[in-house]
Amino acid sequence: MPVRMLATLTALAALMIYGFGCSDSTPSGNADSPPTPASGTQQAESQLVGMIDDERIENAASEPGNWLAYGRTYEEQRFSPLSQINRETVGQLGLAWAKDMGTNRAQEATPIVVDGILFLTSSWSRVFAIDALTGETLWSFDPQVPGAYARKACCDVVNRGVAVYKGRVYFGSLDGRLFALDAKTGEEIWEVDTLIDRTRAYTITGAPRAARGKIYIGNGGAEFGVRGYVTAYDAETGEQAWRFFTVPGDPSLPFEQPELEAAAKTWKGGEWWKIGGGGTVWNSIVYDPDFNQIYLGVGNGSPWTRAIRSPGGGDNLFLSSVVAVDADTGVYKWHYQTTPGDNWDYTAVQDMALADMTVDGKERKVLLQAPKNGFFYVIDRSNGELLRAHPYAPLNWATHVDMETGRPVENPELDYAEKEKWVLPGPLGGHNWQSMSVDEEGGLVFIPVQQNSFIYGLSEEFKKTGLYKAVADRFNLGVEMGRVVQHFVNNLDTWPAPKGFLRAFNPLTGEVAWEVEIAHYWNGGVLATAGGLVFQGDAFGMLKAYDKETGEALWEFNTYTSMLAPPITYAIDGVQYVSILTGTGGGDLFSGAPLPPFPNPASLDYNNYGRLLVFKLGGDAKLEVPKARDMTIPEQEMADLSDAQIAYGEGLFHEYCAECHGLATRSGGVIPDLRQMSTETHARFDEIVLSGLLAPKGMAAFNDVLSAQDATFVHEYIRARAHEDREVALGNQAAPRWTWMDSAE
Ligand code: CA
């Protein structure tokens, strides 16, 4: 079908679905018709693919059949006016088609839908243009990220999506390149290296944003030791327009931006610039047409612990802040810091939404964010004034936010400088990047909330020596990772039970209108619609539609695959569709398999099938029920090592391996479970770990940090853990001992 005709049908369909009763359903301007080429020349219809100009994207709200920007519109509320699928009809919702995306790693992308085409990314930064009616791949593009680069990524080889703008598709690759592709053909137009220092472990996982002729992109890497910044590029040429550093660099060098001089005064006594400082903007960058400004959601400190990063105290600006900069120049306008002196990986990179709200009787243009630290912020976009800061998630690190000073009041009992402490939220946050949805009219925000603590302890090495040495391409957290299992075991009696919630939260009053408890914390993003529904996929593979007024589950579909990605909705030819990518992983690889009695996510019971699923009313396609995963642990050939040697391997495993393969060798089902290694894999263990035999698949060599002797100790620790879990499964042993560290003192 010609794209122009398709677009017209989409516009008609949108009208039909949107309903005639809604006052703002009338298309205005060019919003519902394909844009006319500026030159006025006759352009072939096929060249209109992805022709989203500034006017069209700024009026994205008037195209309910499309999903033109990351959060649907520049406001990023992820609330769709489509209502064909509603409380009454949702019972007839069924699978229209499913597409195998050829991956078993996490998929996190929000597809952009424009005129009948889905533009999305999958794992390893691969890009797809897919016919939104049939699932046919129109083109795909693979940036060929080197497999070994996976070691530089804290949180899986994920990507959260593309920007589509003026006939081009923009995306960032895991290894830090920004691409412009032809939206029609997928051919590369330009590529730029966004990294300031390739010796540091920078990654891109976030979706770029496009506005005002520019493409905006940040990066990740604060766990490894990098300095955060955001760059704006000319959309046409790829030329750099401006760059904004989020933290000060080496104080002996000139400041790149005037406000960094003041920011540097809030960093005291340490040598943060050698480690990096952190403050990466790895997820949320929002353009605000009302003020022509860009909001940067700034990440955590690097290392996590302020005792190492800034031993003299200080707020460490602009860590864990929302920073507003001018869209054209990148010049600083204002900031609000959610967590001064961050000590817990409390990023403020979580999705930001823009809204108009009446606050205390006054009309305000507000920014809404539920960052990791557990408080929900309502901020005046004109000047950064804090209007509300109610807790939306279970937390204990602070008692409240003092509304006079705008600062959180920390709980001194949870200072972990001397002894390890359970802190809520942990590094995965009260809410992570999984998107929330804003019902502006209903005054509620639907948030995927997490109750997931972490046992924070200051690095033992640092406590003993007062020295901290950052190492390239590995976690540099300053938090004790080697002894984390021992800390866990020693404090098991006070462990706050992990769980998740979907919460309908009132950002002005702090009230929870309703909540649904989910027996796992790591669930998917949220979509709300004018059909009165809230859609979410969960860790157990269930895609559900809840009544947005009550939280009652009105519909569910078993995808047999854990989900993280947010659902989206679009309409073509009078039919509304709901779409979601399946497959978990991301930042939760470290936590691994839940401990009994907590139930297994679908990724453990089955496999992690990366699919694109599309639903419509009356859809009757079927998903094959996958075979249950074989969890048998083979018999182990144990070497005759001392407890002290195995304990040494335990420490190394949690420094270097657990981040992907899971705490105590218990994989969450995405990355191979090392307890299940075959005889052949055991035989090649050193080749894999030291020589990089499987580097093309993402398992890089670790010979820069592990000696052959170290590899043997790690190997034997894995065997010891496998052996005891096998014995427990066979009923020969009551419970695992978990840690060898106590006996190795
Ligand atoms: Ca982080």
Helix H or strand E encompassing 650: helix 643-656
What's the gap in Å between 343 CA and the centre of ligand 1?
A: 11
The pLDDT tens digits for 370-401 are 999 999 999 999 999 999 999 999 999 999 99
The pLDDT tens digits for 642-678 are 999 999 999 999 999 999 999 999 999 999 999 999 9
> Residue 673 in 3-state DSSP?
coil
pLDDT band at 36 (very low <50, low <70, confident <90, very high): very low
Give the C-alpha separation, 195 to 81, whole Å.
39
The pLDDT tens digits for 221-258 are 999 999 999 999 999 999 999 999 999 999 999 999 99
737: Cα separation from own chain's centroid: 34
- Are residues 671 and 556 both part of a single domain? no
Q: What is the mean pLDDT of residues 270-295?
A: 97
pLDDT band at 1 (very low <50, low <70, confident <90, very high): very low
618, 619, 621, 623 alpha-carbon torsion, rounded to 10°: -110
HEC profile of 308-355: HHCCCCCCCCCCCEEEEEECCCCCEEEEEECCCCCCCCCCCCCCEEEE
Has residue 168 been placed in a domain? yes
What's the gap in Å between 183 CA and the centre of ligand 1?
A: 33
Res 29: pLDDT: 29
- Residues 452/426, Cβ–Cβ less than 8 Å: yes
What's the gap in Å between 162 CA and the centre of ligand 1?
A: 22
Cis peptide before 425 (omega within 30 of 0): yes
Look at residue 13 and tell me whether its pLDDT is greater than 50.
no
What's the gap in Å between 477 CA and the centre of ligand 1?
A: 9
The pLDDT tens digits for 577-634 are 999 999 999 999 999 999 989 999 999 999 999 999 999 999 999 999 999 999 999 9
CB neighbour class for 413 (10 Å; exposed up to 12, middle 13-18, buried from 19): exposed
Estimate the crossing angle of helix 708-730 against helix 643-656, to 10 degrees.
Answer: 100
- Long-range Cβ contacts of 141-146 (<8 Å, 24+ apart): 141/179, 141/181, 141/186, 141/188, 143/173, 143/175, 143/177, 143/179, 145/173, 145/174, 145/175, 146/175, 146/695
- Are residues 455 and 523 both part of a single domain? yes
User: 277, 287, 261: which is closest to 319 by C-alpha?
Assistant: 277
Res 32: pLDDT: 32
Q: Which of 587, 617, 647 is the last residue of a domain?
A: 617
What's the gap in Å between 33 CA and the centre of ligand 1?
A: 42
Q: For residue 381, give every residue at least 6 positions away whose Cβ sits within 8 Å of its Cβ, in sequence order, or none.
A: 288, 290, 291, 293, 295, 324, 354, 365, 366, 367
- Are residues 200 and 229 both part of a single domain? yes
Provide the 10 A C-beta neighbour count for residue 574: 15
Give the C-alpha separation, 669 to 606, whole Å.
8
What's the gap in Å between 218 CA and the centre of ligand 1?
A: 14
Using alpha carbons, list the distances in angstroms from residue 450 to 174, 356, 392, 546, 550.
Answer: 26, 27, 10, 18, 20
Q: What is the DSSP letter of 245?
A: E
Res 730: pLDDT: 97
Has residue 624 been placed in a domain? no
- Are residues 346 and 218 both part of a single domain? yes
Has residue 689 been placed in a domain? yes
Q: Strand order in 168-172's β-sheet? A: 163-165, 168-172, 177-182, 188-193
What is the domain-level CATH number for residue 730?
1.10.760.10
Res 742: pLDDT: 81
Res 19: pLDDT: 33
Q: What is the mean pLDDT of residues 728-732?
A: 97
- Residues 164/50, Cβ–Cβ less than 8 Å: yes
- Are residues 709 and 599 both part of a single domain? no
Res 321: pLDDT: 98
- Are residues 44 and 26 both part of a single domain? no
Q: Which of 617, 650, 665 is the last residue of a domain?
A: 617
Domain coverage including residue 5: 1-30+630-745
Which residue matches tokens 């879990």?
725
Helix H or strand E encompassing 647: helix 643-656
Which range is least confidently modeled, 47-51, 341-345, 356-360, 720-724?
Answer: 47-51
- In this structure, the strands spanning 542-547 and 240-245 are unpaired
Res 686: pLDDT: 98
Give the C-alpha separation, 284 to 439, whole Å.
19
345 is catalytic: yes
- Are residues 376 and 235 both part of a single domain? yes
- Are residues 248 and 289 both part of a single domain? yes
- Are residues 184 and 248 both part of a single domain? yes
Has residue 622 been placed in a domain? no
420: Cα separation from own chain's centroid: 27
pLDDT band at 50 (very low <50, low <70, confident <90, very high): confident
Has residue 386 been placed in a domain? yes
Has residue 109 been placed in a domain? yes
Res 174: pLDDT: 98
What's the gap in Å between 610 CA and the centre of ligand 1?
A: 25
> Residue 602 in 3-state DSSP?
helix
Look at residue 402 and tell me whether its pLDDT is greater than 90.
yes
HEC profile of 462-502: HHHHCCCCCCCCCCCCCECCCCHHHHHHHCHHHCCCCEEEE
Res 745: pLDDT: 52
Has residue 435 been placed in a domain? yes
Q: What is the mean pLDDT of residues 347-364?
A: 98
Which residue matches tokens 């094959």?
624
The pLDDT tens digits for 413-462 are 999 999 999 999 999 999 999 999 999 999 999 999 999 999 999 999 99
Res 551: pLDDT: 98
- Are residues 656 and 554 both part of a single domain? no
What's the gap in Å between 320 CA and the centre of ligand 1?
A: 10
Q: Which of 617, 641, 660 is the last residue of a domain?
A: 617
The pLDDT tens digits for 494-551 are 999 999 999 999 999 999 999 999 999 999 999 999 999 999 999 999 999 999 999 9
What is the domain-level CATH number for residue 539?
2.140.10.10
What's the gap in Å between 719 CA and the centre of ligand 1?
A: 31
Q: For residue 429, give every residue at least 6 positions away whose Cβ sits within 8 Å of its Cβ, in sequence order, or none.
A: 346, 347, 350, 371, 372, 373, 374, 393, 450
- Residues 84/575, Cβ–Cβ less than 8 Å: yes
- Share the mean pLDDT of the chain: 93
pLDDT band at 564 (very low <50, low <70, confident <90, very high): very high
Res 48: pLDDT: 81
pLDDT band at 47 (very low <50, low <70, confident <90, very high): low
The pLDDT tens digits for 492-509 are 999 999 999 999 999 999
- In this structure, the strands spanning 79-80 and 526-529 are parallel
Res 569: pLDDT: 98
- Residues 95/623, Cβ–Cβ less than 8 Å: yes
Give the C-alpha separation, 563 to 539, whole Å.
6
Give the C-alpha separation, 316 to 26, whole Å.
48
- Are residues 289 and 434 both part of a single domain? yes
Higher pLDDT, 29 or 478: 478
The pLDDT tens digits for 60-107 are 999 999 999 999 999 999 999 999 999 999 999 999 999 999 999 999
Res 744: pLDDT: 55
- Are residues 668 and 603 both part of a single domain? no
User: 159, 194, 165: which is closest to 182 by C-alpha?
Assistant: 165
Catalytic residue among 32, 315, 345, 380: 345
User: E strands, 206-331, where?
Assistant: 209-211, 214-217, 229-234, 240-245, 277-278, 285-288, 293-297, 301-302, 321-326
Q: Which residues pair with 544 in a beta bridge?
A: 536, 556
Q: Alpha helix locations (H) across 384-533?
A: 460-465, 484-490
Res 40: pLDDT: 31
Look at residue 167 and tell me whether its pLDDT is greater than 90.
yes
Q: How many distinct structural domains can be found in the chain?
A: 2
Has residue 529 been placed in a domain? yes
